[in-house]
């Protein structure tokens, strides 16, 4: 009997997800006794009635590595431990269907699951592994905020988009003598903002790790204007906040969506700069989901393919409860427990942080 592997993609989409799926299938095709399936919308495909599980063969994955998104869909709502059930009064309650799901997968002859996702998905993977499911994790996030891996696929594509954003905004800022604030993604970690600031050459970069002092930001922009180069670019991560202040966001009304939906710090910053006395003309651009979509750059496709091949080999070797990781230019595996322990925050010793400071980019402190 063939060994069935189930692949699921969870959390926000990310350029490179399809490249991982294709690599798993291609690697499995080299072995006569494995078959790959995909669960639609993370684990929901298993739990839905009727189930939504599709066969992933060579034909299903042909050419998908250059496509953004994920051919098996994804979600950052609900999940086997928090399955939303509508109550008679119209409210929703999350119930734990994890045991039922594990039993279903066993009954259907699934040998292992490869779960491609961010910190939330990998926490679910760890809990499922503790309950006896054969799980291998593959890290995914454009934010690059998982500490167990030096880099996640999708991050460099997002940086490329953000850098192109700076490049385009510079020409308008320069022509109009303006300050343009560009808001990028980065919930807890400011890697996208920092990389785009260095690559694009911004004057200010505000990140979640360093609460900013608005007067320091004004000072840096005014200095730039005094140098008679009357324009400036400020890159701000969505999770940035002022000293003693809070992030800008709102609780989501979507059922099962637990994260606060961040967004709007760019506009708040513009107000704060005005209140702090900055006279320059200002505009705000929010890049939003442009950073998560579209064709993955070559680096991300290669990393994603490497993750997919390695994940299959971990299944073959029975290395369950582990996650694929990129460390020191190699692909290794780490225990899921380690993988979900810490965030990968921007720290002062990170080369990109030292570079930003070394080039006079104000980090708002
Ligand atoms: O975690 C990746 C991320 O893109 C964050 O940077 C952002 O806060 C979040 O996802 C947005 O998620 P959604 O697509 O649900 O709005």
* Domains in the chain with CATH codes: 3-153+296-327 (3.40.50.450), 157-292+348-358 (3.40.50.460)
The mean per-residue pLDDT over the stretch 334-342 comes to 91
pLDDT band at 260 (very low <50, low <70, confident <90, very high): confident
Q: Is the pLDDT of residue 259 over 90?
A: no
* CA-based nearest residue to 334, from 98, 138, 45: 138
Distances in Å between the Cα of 99 and the Cα atoms of 8, 81, 107, 266 are 18, 9, 12, 44
Q: What is the pLDDT of residue 340?
A: 85
143 lines ligand 1 (CB under 6 A): yes
* CA-based nearest residue to 345, from 184, 210, 152, 176: 210
pLDDT band at 157 (very low <50, low <70, confident <90, very high): very high
Q: What is the pLDDT of residue 192?
A: 98
With the most atoms of ligand 1 within 8 angstroms of its CB, the residue from 185, 208, 240 to mutate is 185
Higher pLDDT, 216 or 77: 216
Helix (H) or strand (E) holding 14: none
| Ligand 1 atom closest to Cα of residue 76 | 15
* CA-based nearest residue to 300, from 5, 7, 14: 14
Q: What is the pLDDT of residue 339?
A: 87
Ligand 1 center to 12 CA (angstroms): 6
Q: Name which of 36-40, 90-94, 165-169, 276-280 the model is least confident about.
A: 90-94
120 lines ligand 1 (CB under 6 A): no
pLDDT in tens, 183-211: 999 999 999 999 999 999 999 999 999 99
pLDDT in tens, 46-83: 999 999 999 999 999 999 999 999 999 999 888 999 99
Q: What is the pLDDT of residue 188?
A: 95
pLDDT band at 32 (very low <50, low <70, confident <90, very high): very high
C-beta separation of 317 from 165 below 8 A:
no
Q: What is the pLDDT of residue 76?
A: 87
pLDDT in tens, 300-320: 999 999 999 999 999 999 999
């Amino acid at each position: 009997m063939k060994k069935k592997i189930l692949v699921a993609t969870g959390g926000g989409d990310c350029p490179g997800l399809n490249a991982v799926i294709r690599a798993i299938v291609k690697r499995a095709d080299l072995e006569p006794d494995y078959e790959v399936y995909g669960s639609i919308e993370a684990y929901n495909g298993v739990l839905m009635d009727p189930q939504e599980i599709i066969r992933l063969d060579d034909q299903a994955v042909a050419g998908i590595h250059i496509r953004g998104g994920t051919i098996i869909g994804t979600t950052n709502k609900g999940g086997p431990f928090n399955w939303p059930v509508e109550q008679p009064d119209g409210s929703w309650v999350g119930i734990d269907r994890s045991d039922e799901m594990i039993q279903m997968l066993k009954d259907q002859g699934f040998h292992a699951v490869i779960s491609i996702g961010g910190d939330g998905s990998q926490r679910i993977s760890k809990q499922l592994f503790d309950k006896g499911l054969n799980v291998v994790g593959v890290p995914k996030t454009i934010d690059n905020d998982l500490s167990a891996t030096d880099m996640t696929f999708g991050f460099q594509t997002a940086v490329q988009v953000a850098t192109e954003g700076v490049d385009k905004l510079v020409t308008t800022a320069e022509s109009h003598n303006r300050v343009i604030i560009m808001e990028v993604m980065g919930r807890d970690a400011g890697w996208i903002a920092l990389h785009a600031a260095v690559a694009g050459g911004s004057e200010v970069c505000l990140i979640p790790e360093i609460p900013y002092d608005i007067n320091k930001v004004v000072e840096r922009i005014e200095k730039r204007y005094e140098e008679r180069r009357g324009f400036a670019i400020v890159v701000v991560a969505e999770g940035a906040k002022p000293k003693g202040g809070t992030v800008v966001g709102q609780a989501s009304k979507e059922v099962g969506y637990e994260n606060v939906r961040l967004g709007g710090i760019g506009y708040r910053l513009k107000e704060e700069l005005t209140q702090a006395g900055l006279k320059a003309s200002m505009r705000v651009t929010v890049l939003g989901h442009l950073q998560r979509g579209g064709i993955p750059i070559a680096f991300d496709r290669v990393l994603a393919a490497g993750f997919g091949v390695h994940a299959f080999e971990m299944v073959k070797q029975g290395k369950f409860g582990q996650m694929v990781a990129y460390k020191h230019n190699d692909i290794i595996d780490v225990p899921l427990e380690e993988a979900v322990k810490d965030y990968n925050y921007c720290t002062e010793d990170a080369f990109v942080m030292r570079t930003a400071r070394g080039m006079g980019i104000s980090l708002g402190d």
